[in-house]
Amino acid sequence: MNWLQVRTQFVKSSGRYDLVQGKTFKDNGADFYIQSGSRLLDLLQDVPHTRKWYHKLIVPGDCVVELTHFRSVEDIWIVDPDSTTDEKSRKPLEEKSLKWIFENYSEPSISYISCVAEVNLTNTVLTIAAQPSVASRLLITIVDTTDSLTAGTITILGEDENSRIVTEVLDCSNGAGIYVSTKAWTVITSITTSLFATLNGAGDETIKVEYPSTEEGKPLYYARIPIGVAPQLERESSGNWAGKSDWSYLHINAGVFSDEEEYEGVLLAPACGGVYTLELLGRFFNEYVVSSDTYTTFWTTRHPDLLVQAALAKLEFLAYQNMTRYRNIKAALRDELLGIDHDLADDEDYSSGQMRSSWME
């Protein structure tokens, strides 16, 4: 089934036709319960898609890796670019507590090199003063002393770590603050500001572009952290951020910080000093960012009936506060999920013992 088919069956089973739009069965609240049911199934039972690989390019200055739909870490490795020819370049990271990292690494030891000197913010092409020596993310700091700045965009054109010509557009609708490119740049051809409004033009709004540098080498340790701006910094203007580089604030990742609740992540120590690939094996929730009615997930494709049951359970709990019905449906779900659990246990027995593959005697 796809998402529309699951939604249709959920509405027919519940009788809640008010949760869709007429005969089209477009969402009118049904998806909330289906998504909640999907999360319930993830919590009740691991499936083959629970354990996943996550790969990310890390570059100088990176010390926080942000993850969505993240549950737990099993192992993390750092891989050199030449790892295809040298297996020794793939090194595991050792897990430490945040307390241990704070005691042994007081701050990320990151310095910043100017790419575009601080200038008045206007809608123009900025003058590039220096190019990164290795692939680097760009930190763009916008300061507005009068709090009058409104939305704009910053367009970066250049080459990434693979020498591909790419473009990135940063949405600066939050006004003043620090914006960080998601792409790592080796060549910067142009940086263009546009659509900024309410500019006084007298030095009230400034912009500068930097890229991080560190003398550290490979990260050696990691700790799981919640990502977020510390409460005492949440409302500070960007002009006050310069001196806030202590790791205890848990917001520094070459300038990256996030107060979005959907993010969690891992802190790397020491901060990355080169260009590497991070490989993380962990447990994740199944994603369900519904982009269309034809959207599919593990649960919609393999076990749509269980997803409908789980959505009905969440409807009973969230809409009706009927704990008896909720517990009864959840108990029935557990019985059916036992089959999946037994299959996974059998696979793990074979793989852990390495006695035979699933298609050999």
Mean pLDDT (the chain, rounded): 81
Residues whose CB falls within 8 Å of the CB of residue 90, separated by 6 or more in sequence, listed in order: 77, 78, 79, 80, 83, 279
Note whether 269 and 76 are within 8 A (CB). no
Instruction: Specify the pLDDT at position 185.
Output: 95
Residue 298, domain member (yes or no): yes
CB atoms < 10 A from the CB of 316, how many? 21
pLDDT digits (tens, 9 = 90+) for 109-128: 678 899 999 998 889 999 99
44 with 139, same domain: the answer is: no
Distance CA 52, CA 64 (A): 19
Instruction: Specify the pLDDT at position 322.
Output: 96
pLDDT digits (tens, 9 = 90+) for 328-352: 999 999 998 988 877 776 666 544 4
Distance CA 134, CA 301 (A): 43
CATH of the domain at 212: 2.60.120.1300
| Helix pair 30-44, 323-353: axis angle to 10 deg | 50
Of 243, 250, 217, the closest CA to residue 101 belongs to: 250
Using the 3D structure, point to which of 256, 283, 310 is the last residue of a domain.
283
Distance CA 178, CA 94 (A): 31
210 with 292, same domain: the answer is: no
128 with 256, same domain: the answer is: yes
Residue 69, domain member (yes or no): no
250 with 306, same domain: the answer is: no
115 with 240, same domain: the answer is: yes
209 with 314, same domain: the answer is: no
DSSP string, 67-108: EESEEEEEEEEEE-TTTTT-GGGEEEPEE--HHHHHHH-SS-
Of 209, 217, 205, 202, the closest CA to residue 181 belongs to: 209
Q: With cut-offs at 50, 70 and 90, classify the pLDDT of residue 361.
A: very low
Domain, as residue range, for 19:
3-48+288-346
Q: Count CA atoms within 13 Å of residue 75 on its CB side.
A: 6
Note whether 258 and 228 are within 8 A (CB). yes
337 with 237, same domain: the answer is: no
Lowest model confidence (mean pLDDT) among 14-28, 166-180, 227-241, 273-287: 227-241
Q: How many domains does the chain have?
A: 2
Note whether 97 and 223 are within 8 A (CB). yes
pLDDT digits (tens, 9 = 90+) for 180-239: 898 999 999 999 999 887 655 555 788 999 998 877 678 999 988 765 544 444 444 333
Residue with token string 């659990």: 341
Instruction: Specify the pLDDT at position 1.
Output: 94
Of 95, 97, 47, the closest CA to residue 303 belongs to: 47
147 with 248, same domain: the answer is: yes
Using the 3D structure, point to which of 260, 283, 306 is the last residue of a domain.
283
